[in-house]
Amino acid sequence: MEIAILLFDGITPLDAVGPFEVLGRLPGAEVKFVAKKPGEYRTTGGRLGLIADYALDRVPAPEILVVPGGPGADAAAADAEITGWVAAVHQNSRWTTSVCTGALILGGAGILKGVQATTHWRAMDDLAAFGAIPVRQRVVKRGRVITAAGVSSGIDMALGLAADVAGEEVAKAIQLVLEYAPEPPFDAGRFADAPAARIEMVRSGLNRP
Amino acid sequence: MEIAILLFDGITPLDAVGPFEVLGRLPGAEVKFVAKKPGEYRTTGGRLGLIADYALDRVPAPEILVVPGGPGADAAAADAEITGWVAAVHQNSRWTTSVCTGALILGGAGILKGVQATTHWRAMDDLAAFGAIPVRQRVVKRGRVITAAGVSSGIDMALGLAADVAGEEVAKAIQLVLEYAPEPPFDAGRFADAPAARIEMVRSGLNRP
């Protein structure tokens, strides 16, 4: 089963690596990291480089597409070469998925018009601008389009998808390998509960690695 | 604040990327991915390559050390060049941390003798062989040595560490950026609760991407 994960400069790597750790363990999974050109793609701060082995046109028909987000997603969503590939892949994919602002790239590909979808809480308005119907939910599944909220939600999305693809027992075994029994030290991950000062700190004050 | 994250072939990328997403957002964080030689390091199945920009000797005194695990951790734990560097860094680090079987590399560096520590559930006996006292807990903090359990636990570990380094408000803002309000679709991440058939599936049946 061919699974394509898109890379681009300015990616948030957990958006891609969370689903990779889950979906890559499915029986028969063949993950391919794809990008406009094979080579190295960097996070916004430049600290981490990830390698894409495949150019877009080398992977025309994956069964599962995972589109991660990050600060570079806006540019990717406006890049006709990328969105053209995403739109073409979606024609035949079994599942088309996004994590975080990867939803904007699905939007740029015209996939979300009139479709309920989610993204990072900072990007809900941008998502609506592509004609999507934003939903504040961690994972939104509409037909074969699955969108996940910010960054870490890709793990939850991928586990649900793993169950759809290979059954609950396989998904649970993958969850066990990853020891995914979260114990966040704080209860601070939900936008709906966040005080204004914390939102402001996110908007202006944090490093972008 | 210099933060070194070790890379090696056979890494489990989420072990490294989870903490990177958290610690890299700390004010003043300067993350450096380090390895025996600068260049590309691959997961066991070869599907994903991560780039180390720095050779070990270029980063002799990071304040925070993060040692991820993966199928390649056994070899790294037996590699004197790697363990010598880890041991030397630990002399002066503010925090020395591991995720998953990264604890075995700390063990190989002689850091865990007589110290309570944790690792992936599959590697508890290997951890004991290094003289550590294995503890089945998601995050174990003993002095300035912090060890985390399997793979996804590195996110929890790093958020707790972020609070120690920069205060709870910063840690909570980082949690909000990552939208880390987990909703695992199953309750299957804990070894203690896992049925024998699922453990057997992990041991023999899953892909290694």
Q: What is the DSSP string of chain B?
A: -EEEEE--TT--HHHHHHHHHHHTTSTT-EEEEEESSSEEEE-TTS--EEEE-EEGGG-S--SEEEE--STTHHHHHT-HHHHHHHHHHHHH-SEEEEETTHHHHHHHTT--TT-EE---GGGHHHHHHTT-EE--SSEEEETTEEEE-STTHHHHHHHHHHHHHH-HHHHHHHHHHTT-----SSS---GGG--HHHHHHHHHH----
Q: Are strands A133-134 and A49-52 parallel, antiparallel or unpaired?
A: unpaired
pLDDT average, residue stretch A6-34: 98
With bands split at pLDDT 50, 70 and 90, how would you rate the model's confidence at A112? very high
CA distance B10 to chain A (A): 13
Residues in B closer than 8 angstroms to A197, CB to CB, are: 169
CA distance B184 to chain A (A): 5
Q: Kind and range of the H or E element at A73?
A: helix A73-77
CA distance A109 to chain B (A): 25
A-B contacts (CB, under 8 Å): 257
Which of the residues A54, A152, A204 would you substitute to probe the B interface, choosing the one with the greatest number of B C-beta atoms within 10 Å?
Answer: A152
Report the amino acid identity of residue B70.
G
Q: Return the domain boundaries, chain B.
A: 2-183
CB-CB under 8 Å, A176 with B202: yes
Q: How far apart are CA A139 and CA A160, in angstroms?
A: 9
Share of chain A above pLDDT 90, in %: 97
How far CA A161 is from CA of A53, A139, B135, in Å, comes to: 24, 10, 32
Query: ∠ CA A175-A176-A178 to the nearest 5 degrees?
Result: 65
pLDDT at B209: 87
- For the question of an ipTM over 0.85, the answer is yes
CA distance B157 to chain A (A): 8
* Secondary structure of residue A175 in the 3-state scheme: helix
pLDDT at A22: 98
Look at the block and give the residue holding tokens 């070899």: B75
**Chain B residue with the nearest C-alpha to that of A155:** B184
Active site residue B100: yes
Given the residues A6, A64, A65, A100, the one annotated as active site: A100
* pLDDT of A205 over the 90 cut: no
Can you state the angle between helices A168-177 and B196-205, rounded to 10 degrees?
80
CB-CB under 8 Å, B170 with A186: no
How many C-beta neighbours within 10 Å does residue B187 have? 10
pLDDT at A40: 98
pLDDT tens sequence across A113-150: 999 999 999 999 999 999 999 999 999 999 999 999 99
pLDDT average, residue stretch A164-170: 97
CB-CB under 8 Å, B183 with A156: yes
Residues in B closer than 8 angstroms to A194, CB to CB, are: 176
pLDDT tens sequence across B17-49: 999 999 999 999 999 999 999 999 999 999 999
What is residue A114's DSSP assignment? T
Q: Determine the distance from the C-alpha atom of residue B34 to the mean position of all C-alpha atoms in its chain, rounded to a whole number.
A: 14
CB-CB under 8 Å, B179 with A150: yes
Beta bridge partners of B50: A50, B41
Q: Go through A69-93 and write b for each residue having 16 or more CB atoms within 10 A of its CB, e for each that does not.
A: bbebbbebbebeebbebbbebbeeb
At the second CATH level, the architecture of B2-183 is 3-Layer(aba) Sandwich (3.40)
pTM of the shown model: 0.98
* pLDDT of A208 over the 90 cut: no
Given the residues B73, B100, B158, B174, the one annotated as active site: B100
CB-CB under 8 Å, A27 with B206: yes
* pLDDT of B205 over the 90 cut: no
**Chain B residue with the nearest C-alpha to that of A150:** B179
